[in-house]
Amino acid sequence: MTMSPNQIDLRRDEHGRLTIRLNGVDVSVTARPCFPWSHPRQFISFRDSENQEIALLRQLSDLSGDAAVALQASLDEASFMLAITQIDSIDKEFELRNWRVHTRQGPRNFQTRLDDWPRPLEAGSSVIHDVAGDQYLLPPLETLDPNSRQLLWPLLDATDKS
Amino acid sequence: MKTPTTNQANQQLIERYLDQPAALPPGIRAMVEGGPDQDLVQYYALADLDCRMQITADWLVVTLHTLSLFEENSDGTWERTRIDRTLVDGVNERPGLSCRVITFTTEDSSPLLTVRFTYRQRKGMEIVKFILEQKSVETAASDAIGDHAYADALAVPIREARASVSAHRLAVAFRLLSYLNPYRGRVILGMICAILLTLMSLVPPYLTGYLIDSIIRPFESGTITVEKSWQLSLFVLAGIAISQLFQQGFVWIRLRTMAMLGEQVAQDLRRDLYNHIHKLSVSFFSKKQTGSIISRVSSDTDRIWDFIAFGVVEVSLSLITLIALGAILIHMDWKLGLLISVPVPFLIYAIHRNGLTMNRQFLRAWRKWSRLTEVLSDTIPGIRVVKAFHQEDHERERFEERNVAMSDELQAIHATWTSFWPVLMMGIRSLTILVWLFALPRLFGTMNDGVPTLTTGTFIAFLMYLGMFFQPIEVFGQMARMLNRATTSAYRIFELLDTEPQVVEAKDSVRLDPMQGQITFDHVSFSYDGIHNVLEDISFRVHPGDILGIVGPSGSGKTTLVNLVARFYDPTAGKILIDGVDLQDVELGLYRQQIGMVMQDPYLFHGSILDNIRYGQREASLESVIEAAQSANAHDFICRMPQSYDTIVGERGHTLSGGERQRVSIARAILHNPRILILDEATSSVDVETERKIQQALERLIEGRTVIAIAHRLSTLKMATTLIALENGKLVEKGSHEELLAKDNGVYRRLHDIQRELHEMYAV
C-alpha cells in the first residue's frame, strides 16, 4: 500500500537494520527502490522478513528528520556499487574479459562475459556487471585518465543510449 | 563428492582471476584449531567489505562451537570476534545492487554480528548461513570439505562463463593439428606440393636473368649468332613455361588436397562433438546456452576447416618463401639483398600494429552490431505486440538509430584500412625505388671507371624476386589473427569434448529385459548445488502396474523426482531401485527404452506427424501408428489436415495447437509401449474439451504400466493407486485419495479444495 510520509516512522540501528513502526509495532524491513537505475529516490518498497511489501513510499524527499536520514543511509547501502576510478588492463580471454581496475573502494579484478557490454546511465556514466553479479559503475569516458580511456574506448562511447 | 583435483582447479582459477586467497589463511586455522578447546573449522567465507563499504579481507568462520569474524590488524595478526553458535538464532539479510549485509541475531532478534560482502562472496556466505540455520552443530567437516565449498562457490561463475580448457594457445593449436594424424599422407603431399611450388616459382626470374645476361646481351655484342640465340631462347622459354605449368599443377594438388582434408577434419570434429553431446548429462544443457552449443558444432568447426585448408599451408609456405627469397636475394647481391631484408621485420610490425587498431575498431562494431540485432530479435518474434500497440514508428526509429551507429563504426574501419594499405604499399614501392637508386650506379659502373659491377640480367631477376617478396609479409601480418580465431574455436570445441557426463553407466550393468516396473525410493535426497537439498529423505514404493500421483505446490520437487526416475540425474544420497536393482547399476540405454514421458509442454521435432509418432519406434508399421493415434484421440484431427500424417509440424511443432501436440506426444508414448510411464502435468493449460480427450487418451495409455503422474487435475489424481504429497522437498503425506482427503489441513486436502473451488467458479 502507498503510505503518506507522516505515516512512516523509520529507525535504523547501529547494525544498519531498518525498522518501521506500524500500528505501534516495530517491524524489521528492508528498503528496495522500485526503479534503482532510473529513479532511485522514488517509490521505495519496504519489505518484511518474508519479502512481502508492507509499505510503499512515493518520494524520499517527502520524508524529513530522522526518518529521512535513516532511509537515506539504507538506500545508500542498497544502491552500493564498486565505482571504477582507473583501469589498468582489460584482457580478452576465451569467452571472458578480464578487468584489472582501481575502484573508490580499493583495487579489484573481475571478469565479464565477452558479449556483456556496459549499460549507459544518465549523465554519461555506465554500469557493467561481472560473472558473479557484482555491478561496477563506470564514470563518463572523458573523466578518466588517457590509458583507462583508451582501454574503455572500444566498449563505450558517450553517445550510447539504452 | 567432488575430487581433490576439482578443488585444485578451483583454487587455480581463484588465484588466476580473483585477487583474494584461495583458502582460509593458515594463521586463522591455527588460531581456531590450535586452541585449548579443540575446535574445528567447518565452513568459511570472505567478508570483502568493511563497515565503511571499503574493500577488505575479513573472514567469517563457522567452527563446531563458534561463529567468528577475523579482521586483519595492520601488523598481520588477526582480531577475532567470537560468538557461541548456540546463541545464533536468526539471520537478517539485506540485499543491495552489488552487496549484501547479513546480521546474525539472537532468539530475541538482538544483533550479534554484521558482515558485508559483494555478490562474489554470496554463494560462500549462503553456505555459512545455511549451516547456521540448520543448527546441526554435530555435523563434522574435514578441512577438505570446507576448502572445497569455499573454492567452488567462488570459481563456479568463472568456470561456467569461460571455456574450461586452460591449456596454452600453442598447446591447443597442436592438439588441433593432432586431428591431422590419420591423414598424415595427405598432409605430407600438401606440404611437398607447397615446397615444390615455392621452388618452381624461383625458376622463371632466374631463367629471365639468364636470358638477358647469357643470350640477349652476348647477341647484342655479337658474341653469339642469331640461330644460337634463338635456339637458346627457345630452351629458356620452354623452361619458364614448364615451371609455370608445374606451379599451377602443384597449386591444384595443394588446394584440392588441403581443402578436402580440412573438410574431413571438420567433419570428424562435428561427428565427435555431436556424439559427445548425446553422452552428456542434462545438467550440462541447463548451464550452457543452446546457441553456444550449436555454434560450436557449426561455425567453430567451419573456422577450423578454414585454418587447416589454408592457414597451415599458407603460413608454412610464406615462411619457406620468405627464407628462400631472402637467401637468394642476399646471395645474388648481398648489398641489395640486405637493403630489402632489413626493413621486413618493421613492415611485419606495422601490419601487426594496424591489426591491433582494427581489432579495437571491430570490437566497437561488434558492440554496435549486437545492439542492432537486439532490435531484430526483440521485434520480429514480438511483431504482433508491436502492431497491436501501434509501435511501428518507434521501432523503425530505434532500428535506424542503431543502424546509423553501426554504419558509422564500419565507415571508421574502412577509413583505417583504406588509409593504411596505400601507405604500406608506398613504403614497399619506396624500397623498390631505393633498390633502383643503389643499383643504377653499379649497372652503369659510374663508381668503377665505367665497368658495371651488376649485370642487367641479375638486376632484372632481382626485381622479379623482389615482387614475390612482399606477399608473405602480408600473410605473416595476418597470421596472429588467423591463429587467434582458430584456437578460440578449438578451445570451444575441446571444452565440449572434455566435459565428462555426470550420469555414467556402470561397467557390469544389469540388463532389465523385460522390466517389471517396480520403483523403490530408499531415503533419496538430491541437491543441484551440493548444498541445498531439493529432495530430502524420500522413501516410497510403486508396484508394477500401479499409478503413483504426485502433488505439491510449485517448487516442491515434483519434477526433480521424475527426473531422477528417468536417471537424468543421480541422487546425492539414498538409492532408487528398479525391480530391486540399484538404478545406477542398470543398463541405461535399455532402461530408457522402457520408460516413456509425456510432458506438460511436449516437444515435437521438425518433420511430419508420422515421423514424430514413430520417433521411439522407427520400424513401427503404419497400422500401429494409426492405432496409437486413435488411442490418443489424435487420429481424427490428423486426418482433417490436408496432408494428414504427412503434415510437417514445423520447428517444435508450432503449427499444431497445445492440445494437438499433447495428443501426438501421447500417441508417440503409446507406440513406444513403455513399462514405466511418466506424466508431468500432461493436461494443464488446455480447454475442458481437449482435457477430456487427453484424459481418455491417458486412460488408454496407462493400462498395464507403472505410472508416475504429476498432476493438479482431480480427474488424473482420482486414477492414482497411491498419492504422495511433497512440500519443500519432503514427502509429507502418502496414501489413497480418500485417506489424504480425510486429513484436515493436509497439503493434498488444501490443493484439492483449491481445485474444487476453481472448478465451481468456472462452472458458475
Cα gap B680→B597, rounded to integer Å: 8
Residues of A with Cβ-Cβ distance to B161 under 8 angstroms: 95-96, 111, 113, 131
How many Cβ pairs within 8 Å bridge chains A and B? Answer: 117
Q: Give residue B25's pLDDT.
A: 93
Provide the 8-state DSSP code for B540.
Answer: E
Output the CA angle B265-B482-A92, nearest 5 degrees: 110
Q: Determine, for residues B118 and A132 on separate chains, whether the beta-carbon distance falls below 8 Å.
A: yes
Which of A80, A82, A127 to mutate to probe the B interface, most B CBs <10 Å?
A80
| Tens of pLDDT, residues A38-90 | 888 889 999 888 778 888 888 888 888 888 999 999 998 888 999 999 999 99
Cα gap B729→B573, rounded to integer Å: 14
| Tens of pLDDT, residues B678-702 | 888 766 556 667 777 777 777 777 7
Please answer whether residues B108 and B3 qualify as being in contact, where contact means their C-beta atoms are separated by less than 8 angstroms. Answer: no
Q: Is the pLDDT of residue B587 over 80?
A: yes
CA distances from A9 to A29, A52, A63, B637 (A): 12, 18, 10, 64
Nearest to B94 by CA among A51, A134, A94, A115: A51
Provide the 8-state DSSP code for B510.
Answer: B
| Tens of pLDDT, residues B63-94 | 888 999 999 988 888 999 999 988 998 888 88
Q: Give residue B298's pLDDT.
A: 75
Cα gap B646→B663, rounded to integer Å: 16
Cα gap B33→B36, rounded to integer Å: 8
**Residue holding cell 627469397?**
B325
Of B109, B360, B370, the CB nearest to A117: B370
Q: One-letter amino acid identity for A59?
A: Q
| Tens of pLDDT, residues B444-503 | 887 777 777 888 888 888 888 888 877 787 777 666 667 777 777 787 788 778 777 777
Q: Determine, for residues A95 and B95 on separate chains, whether the beta-carbon distance falls below 8 Å.
A: no
Which secondary structure element, helix H or strand E, spans residue B67, and what is its range? strand B66-72
Q: Determine, for residues A16 and B367 on separate chains, whether the beta-carbon distance falls below 8 Å.
A: no
| Residue B381 phi, psi (nearest 5) | -65, -25
Q: Is the pLDDT of residue B250 over 70?
A: yes
Kindly report the number of other CB atoms within 10 A of residue B681's CB atom.
Answer: 19
The mean pLDDT of B631-652, rounded to a whole number, is 86
The mean pLDDT of B18-47, rounded to a whole number, is 88
Rounded to the nearest angstrom, the minimum Cα separation between B112 and chain A is 9
Characterize B597-630 residue by residue with b for buried, 16 or more Cβ atoms within 10 angstroms of its Cβ, and e for exposed. Answer: bbbeebebeebbbbbbbbbebeebeeebbbbbbb
- What ipTM describes this predicted complex? 0.90
Output the CA angle B223-B224-B229, nearest 5 degrees: 145
Q: Give residue B287's pLDDT.
A: 66
Nearest to A115 by CA among B162, B523, B98: B162
Cα gap B145→B131, rounded to integer Å: 13
B489 or A153, which is more confident? A153
The pTM is what? 0.70
Closest chain B CA to residue A98: B17
Give contacts of A 55-84 with B, CB under 8 A: 74, 77-82
The mean pLDDT of A127-150, rounded to a whole number, is 93
CA distances from B133 to A30, B126, B129, B153 (A): 20, 10, 6, 18
The alpha carbon of residue B11 and the mean position of all alpha carbons in its chain are separated, in whole angstroms, by: 22
Of B96, B158, B488, the CB nearest to A111: B158
B78-84/B66-72 β-pairing: antiparallel
Q: Give residue B2's pLDDT.
A: 44
Cα gap B611→B619, rounded to integer Å: 11
Q: Determine, for residues B55 and A105 on separate chains, whether the beta-carbon distance falls below 8 Å.
A: yes
Q: Determine, for residues B97 and A115 on separate chains, whether the beta-carbon distance falls below 8 Å.
A: no
Cα gap A75→B236, rounded to integer Å: 89
Cα gap B653→B605, rounded to integer Å: 6
Closest chain B CA to residue A14: B111
Q: Determine, for residues B18 and A115 on separate chains, whether the beta-carbon distance falls below 8 Å.
A: no
B676-680/B595-598 β-pairing: parallel
Q: Give residue B682's pLDDT.
A: 66
Average pLDDT, chain B: 84
Partner B contacted by A24 (CB < 8 A): no
Rounded to the nearest angstrom, the minimum Cα separation between A155 and chain B is 6
Question: Torsion-angle region of residue B517: left (phi > 0), alpha (psi -120 to 50) or beta?
Answer: left
Q: One-letter amino acid identity for B504?
A: V
pLDDT band of B760, cuts 50, 70, 90: low
Give B370's contacts (C-beta < 8 A, 6+ positions apart): A115, A117
B715 or B363, which is more confident? B363
Output the CA angle B484-B486-B488, nearest 5 degrees: 65
Q: Determine, for residues A154 and B363 on separate chains, whether the beta-carbon distance falls below 8 Å.
A: yes
Closest chain B CA to residue A40: B97
Please answer whether residues B457 and B328 qualify as being in contact, where contact means their C-beta atoms are separated by less than 8 angstroms. Answer: no
Which of B46, B51, B99 to mutate to probe the A interface, most A CBs <10 Å?
B99
Q: One-letter amino acid identity for B200?
A: M
B42 or B491, which is more confident? B42
Q: What is the DSSP string of A7-71?
A: G--EEE-TT--EEEEETTEEEEEEEEEEETTTEEEEEEEEE-TTS-EEEEEEEGGG--HHHHHHH
Of A30, A74, A79, the CB nearest to B97: A79
Express as a percent the part of chain B with pLDDT over 90: 19
| Tens of pLDDT, residues B489-537 | 787 788 778 777 777 778 888 898 888 889 999 999 998 876 678 898 8
Cα gap B521→B576, rounded to integer Å: 5
Cα gap B659→B601, rounded to integer Å: 10
Rounded to the nearest angstrom, the minimum Cα separation between A121 and chain B is 15
Question: Torsion-angle region of residue B560: left (phi > 0), alpha (psi -120 to 50) or beta?
Answer: alpha
Q: Determine, for residues A106 and B19 on separate chains, whether the beta-carbon distance falls below 8 Å.
A: no
Q: Give residue B266's pLDDT.
A: 84
Q: Give residue B561's pLDDT.
A: 93
Residues of B with Cβ-Cβ distance to A49 under 8 angstroms: 92
Give contacts of A 104-123 with B, CB under 8 A: 105-111, 113, 115, 117
Q: Give residue B519's pLDDT.
A: 93
CA distances from A27 to A24, A43, A48, A78 (A): 10, 19, 7, 18
Q: What is the DSSP string of B290-347?
A: HHHHHHIIIIIHHHHHHIIIIIHHHHHHHHHHHHHHHHHHHHH-HHHHHHHHTTHHHH
Which of A51, A105, A113 to mutate to probe the B interface, most B CBs <10 Å?
A105
Cα gap A22→A89, rounded to integer Å: 51
| Tens of pLDDT, residues B286-335 | 666 666 677 777 777 777 777 777 777 777 778 888 888 888 888 888 88
Question: Torsion-angle region of residue B401: left (phi > 0), alpha (psi -120 to 50) or beta?
Answer: alpha
What does the radius of gyration of chain B's CA atoms come to, in whole angstroms? 37
Closest chain A CA to residue B401: A161
Lowest average pLDDT, out of B172-181, B435-444, B455-464, B608-617, goes to B172-181
C-alpha dihedral (A15, A20, A25, A27), degrees to nearest 10: -60
What pairs with residue B716 in β-bridges? none
Give A51's contacts (C-beta < 8 A, 6+ positions apart): none
Q: Give residue B100's pLDDT.
A: 92
Q: One-letter amino acid identity for A23?
A: N
The mean pLDDT of A122-151, rounded to a whole number, is 91
| Tens of pLDDT, residues B123-150 | 899 888 888 877 655 454 556 778 888 9
- Among chain B, residues having any CB pair with chain A shorter than 8 Å are 17-19, 49, 53-56, 92, 94-99, 101, 103, 109, 111, 114, 118-120, 122, 157-158, 160-163, 165, 360-361, 363-364, 367, 370, 401, 405, 488, 491-492
pLDDT band of B254, cuts 50, 70, 90: confident
Of A94, A115, A159, the CB nearest to B488: A94
C-alpha dihedral (A148, A150, A155, A160), degrees to nearest 10: 100
Which secondary structure element, helix H or strand E, spans residue A2, and what is its range? strand A2-3
